[in-house]
Structure 1
Amino acid sequence: MIGFEEASRLLRENVAALPAEPVTIEEAAGRFLAKDLLARFDAPRSNVSAMDGYAVRAGTLENGVPFKVLGQARPGMPFGGEVGVREAVRIFTGAAVPKGADCVVMQEYARAEGDTVSFEEGHGPTRHIRKAGSDFCEGDVLLARGTRLTPRAMVAAAAADRASIEVSIQPRVAIIATGDELVSPGEAHATANAIPESASHGVAALCEAMGGTVVLRLTGRDELGLLTDLASEALATADLVVVTGGASVGDHDLARPMFEALGLELVFAKVAIKPGKPVWLGKVGDKPVLGLPGNPTSAMVTARLFLQPLLAAMQGGEAAANLQFLPMPCAAALPEAGGRETFIRAIATPEGLTPAQNQESGAQAPLAQSDWLIRRPAGSPATARGETVSALAF
């Protein structure tokens, strides 16, 4: 059994990015860039006004003295002439600053009368001009390879003036839930000892949120022949297979054996974490197979710790960037940690992170409220209320 850091390293070393494909800018949101996105030109392309007002020569400004208004400049419609002494051009935010002008006086300090304008005290010293190239210059890397095109990143992507963008192919994901007791939600109430199959629904949602496409969802009883057939179907259909359940020690530990006849090579078998010790990663050919525990909380914690970075890596993103632990205040005292690294489900409150009351690996209700994982290395000493802990957004 290995530690969390070692398992994360092995995941990074054994998962490769899928090939690239071009998409339109309209289709790019949420995708991962397959190559650096370069700017086609400077932004702004020329000096532009940061305010509505009047473009003038700063050295000729005199309060109360009339300036002749030569014309106006709008975004995309520049003034073609040159501004001289005691001359002004009416200008609007984003318009190119006319030749000769080096200052924009805000309209709040201007008094227009006919074809002249005068200025009142208080307009300086700010010149309200955005310099050419002050945002970025031609050839600058606006977004690096591996960047996910979030809503904010989409603004920069569009600013690069590229109608087509190279992104990594979205992973096709197959999810297999295993267990004799599992039935589809809506059916369990009618059968004694049946349990609604819930873990795969959270796993599927995480896959979609991370840019994956769930192409197959299967549920199989604990019969090796049946499960091997499901594994074969999943591998033939998807780029990544995620299996939940059947990863404990015993006669029903079939999650790995169901792939063995298909050429499974293990990357790691167990990780010294709580919850989620049975999590494992393997490969069949070049396709990753991730095994998650059957208990829903364990499945979702390990999905956050391993599946999310894995999906990012398959799309050219940085796996480690999806494991950014931050210092956060804890709103409760924590006992000494045990022999395994522990991830405590917690809820963000104004006072800090509050651990969920039920930390059992099979608990499902607390998952809806828990939005952080508090990381407690093995053997960590007890902490008092208000102390800083290391935490990961869940």
Structure 2
Amino acid sequence: MRFLSILKYDIKRLIGNVRTVLIAVLCPLVALFVFFIFLMPMLTEDKKTYNSCALLLEDDNEDFVRLIDTLLAGIEKRQTATVYPVKDEETGMKLLKEGKVTIFLHVHPKTYDRLMDGDAVDMDFYYNSVHAMDALAFSRALRSAASVYGQGLKIVRVSADMAVEKGIDSDTVNVKWDEGMSDVIRLNTSRGKIMGYETVFSPGGDFPGEYYLGLICVLCGLIATFSGVYLTSGDANEIYSSRKLSRGDSVRFFFSRLLSQTLLILLTFAVLLPVSELVKDLELNAVLVTFPAMIIIAFFFSSLSILVGSICRDKKNAFWVEFYAGLIMAGLSVLASREGMLPGALQKLGNLMPVRAAISLFSNGLFELELHRYLYDIGIVAISFVIFVIPAFIVFRKRGCGI
């Protein structure tokens, strides 16, 4: 059989099936609906996201007060909240109960000392039930920023102790200490700018809305492979093996499935792209830059589905293996994106996950392009495609030829 005839037939089976196309199109739409209804209120810079916040700051350390002022100034600059300092806890709780503020933040004494020792940040958040999601975003962002600040603070303190041990005079150490503290706050602020925010404050914690959108794109791409892995398992292990295809036909059937599955995944990505415009204005250059990445990602997912479908002789088992493989890779990728969440070996493995690289390619390419990271991630996905497509080709041929 001619390759084009096989490809046309395979596309008709995979994409011509109304149910398959509906799944490929509706899954992204459902995922985006959930994203915009439940997650975007926490992640966008909508002026109505937060109304007002009462603040009780009982730690009067000068450096820590500078940090809090920097964080809260950023919040007010973005007009997401108005911060009201209060003198005691009773006043803050009263304002909250009367509905005059939506969030009450209580920073306990010696919080700075706890940060110096590397301990958890001692802050309490109180809120009305109707503003639970706002408070969660507020809490996560402030704790994340304070945690990173604490890590930098510890480095500065260790450096100062080493300088004293080496006999450097106290005046020089004090000057370097002040410079180090300024650098810690400056670097924290830069950290926020890298993620697309004007200050260190990021409602998504360490993950801005663009990251979550990239995660949704990748997960929807994985979902689009489910129909392909189901068909591949049935074709390779039942239909083709019973007919004992010639080696030439098995090669043609393999590449037709690889291409048709890739087209279905790209169709899913095409549905997601216009909605990305709602998160942040997309430039044509960003879409053009991301398009090659989407093609490579689609080819990788396609090779993964063919490999799983060819190995698993039972179609239902193939479906569940693909599901759990995607779930595990996505979980490791998300956890690896935050340092310290995984043990050393798993952290390194997660950083090399093609799913992590795919998420990064979407969030980086579509919104804030960093070329070196883009090339690094696209290299990981391309290498992963080669690693998966070779065994997929071998196993598919063996199954199709009845070997």
TM bucket (normalised to shorter chain) is under 0.3
Which has the higher relative contact order, 1 or 2, with Cα contacts under 8 A spaced 6 or more apart?
2
Larger radius of gyration: 1
* Structure with greater strand percent: 1
* Structure with greater helix percent: 2
Superposition TM-score, scaled by structure 2 size: 0.21
Superposition TM-score, scaled by structure 1 size: 0.21
